[in-house]
Amino acid sequence: MRSMRWGLAGAVAFAIGGLSGAPSASAREMVAFNAGYSPGTVVVVTHRRRLYYVLGNGSALSYPVGVGRAGKQWFGQSRIDGKHVRPDWAPPPEIRRDKPSLPRVIAGGSPRNPMGAAALTLAGGQYAIHGTNAPGSIGGFVSYGCIRMHNHDITDLYARVSVGTPVVVVR
């Protein structure tokens, strides 16, 4: 019976992409987290494709995310400098060079707008933590440096953070 259970678990893992090498893009969960960050800090661990909202007492909320592709990732510290619901999106120059057919601005709420339900802009650059119009991209190395979340997860995180919240992105 034990081998049958593991066989079924393996078949399920294969069916949801377990052999792709990408971690599960499952929903947020409470996890043990003892990395020395202050409660209220947002920590993105790029190689895990996870964002952690530190709660304190050795725990955090863990969310699956999409992160920057090879050559598009960044690492360091920032802070949230803006909170926006259904924001318009103006593709930065690098994206417009790669995709010249994009319009200069895509209205918030449009199915073509990659920002999704909300965005938390980060100080010191063109990056944001935001929702997505491509939920299948969560769990991958997919962006130009922004951190993508499921729309229900960015909505949850949006309610938990404020302008000034520290953000740390590590490998």
152 an active-site residue? no
Of 126, 49, 133, 130, the closest CA to residue 95 belongs to: 126
Helix (H, G, I), strand (E, B) or coil at 110: coil
* Catalytic-role residue among 47, 146, 150, 152: 146
Please, are residues 146 and 129 in contact by the beta-carbon 8 Å criterion?
A: yes
Q: What is the CA radius of gyration of the chain?
A: 17
Q: End-to-end CA distance of the chain, in Å? A: 40
DSSP states of 32-100 as a string?
Answer: E--SSPPTT-EEEEGGGTEEEEEEETTEEEEEEEEEEPTTT---EEEEEEEEEES--B---HHHHHH-T
Judge contact between 130 and 148, C-beta under 8 A. Answer: yes
Q: Of the residues 47, 84, 130, 150, which is catalytic?
A: 130
Nearest 5°: the CA angle 130, 124, 160 is 40
130 assigned to active site? yes
Catalytic residues, by residue number, are 130, 146
